[in-house]
Homo-oligomer: A and B are copies of this chain.
Amino acid sequence: MKKYTAIHDIHDFSQIINEALTIKNAPFNNKHLGTNKTLVMLFFNASLRTRLSTEKAAKNLGMDVICMQINNSWNLEFEDGTVMNLTTSEHIKEAAKVIAQYADIIAVRAFPNLTDKNQDNAEIIINSFSKYANVPVVNLESSTAHPLQALADAITINEFSKASKPKVVLSWAPHPKALPQSVANSFVTVMQQLPVDFTITHPKGYELNTDITKDVVINYNQVEALKNADFVYVKNWSAYTDYGKILSQDTNWMITQDKLAKAKFMHCLPVRRNVIVEDAVLDSENSLVIEQANNRTYAAQVILKKILENLD
């Protein structure tokens, strides 16, 4: 594997999931692979799970890890030809090429602004690092995608699935803040690769990018959509069409034990209790959220392993 900036960098999902589960059983078996290799992680936004799980995964593989929280003092320029006599002090061309001098793999987190759809869709930060750094780049959640989360979700569904073709539902839920579509986007993309019966449910107006959802069934009736579900993945996102807007905070869309029935509950965390989902669900045995978080390590580790094996 040459990079992991999008789900489509995985060509054989079944193989990757199986290898991740092998790693989960023996996480320290490939510690030689990362010897004398350095992962540099750049966070343009805060992180808990992604930082800890990716650092842990890299160290499980024997890598050195340097984690940098980018603060406001580092103003990068992304445009070509700019006369940089204002606020930007370093061009991404130099920044990416320089960091690649010190890193064998660069991992980057950069959230969207949710104000300019075209700008967010351009994925300028992660794409610029990919373009200018001559080392593999890993996406730690970008403007439109969170492929490590989606891989961890796929691993978790694989582990807990009893049916040959389980019914998986992605349900929108309310949230007081405008959140990115990235987790939902990547989950939708992965579900299209797996042997599942997949449905999306959300209030009208919350349609995701149709280039991503393609022909996935969308049901605006949450109760109907959830019927006989095996896995219910819950997530808030802000509107894509009316970009970045909060169109609804309808508390009726909160997930309850009643609605869930026997389905497993999934969420990428952090989750607002009794807003996204009621306590009874999170505190029940049907909640997979902690195991999803655990699988973040093995999702990152299988990706880093594949990239390390392809180095040199």
A-to-B contact residues, CB < 8 Å:
27-28, 36, 38, 40, 46, 48-49, 51-53, 55-56, 59-60, 64, 66, 68, 71, 73-74, 77, 80-86, 88-91, 93-95, 97-99, 101-103, 176, 269-275, 279, 282-283, 289-290, 293-294, 296-297
Contacts and interface: CB of A to CB of B under 8 A. Distances in A.
Contacts of A53: 101-102
19 contacts: A46-B71, A49-B98, A51-B66, A52-B68, A53-B101, A55-B66, A80-B279, A85-B274, A89-B270, A90-B271, A93-B282, A94-B269, A94-B270, A94-B289, A97-B290, A98-B293, A101-B290, A101-B294, A101-B297
Contacts of A272: 84-85, 88-89
A279 B296 CA distance: 41
A32 to B, nearest CB: 13
A9 to B, nearest CB: 24
B71 A64 contact: no
A-B pairs with the 3 shortest C-beta distances? Answer: A90-B270, A84-B272, A101-B294
Contacts of A95: 48, 270
B46 A86 contact: no
A81 B274 contact: yes
Query: How many of these chains are in the complex?
Result: 3
Nearest to A94: B269
Given A290-B94, A290-B97, A83 B275 contact: yes
A297 B103 CA distance: 11
Contacts of A27: 36
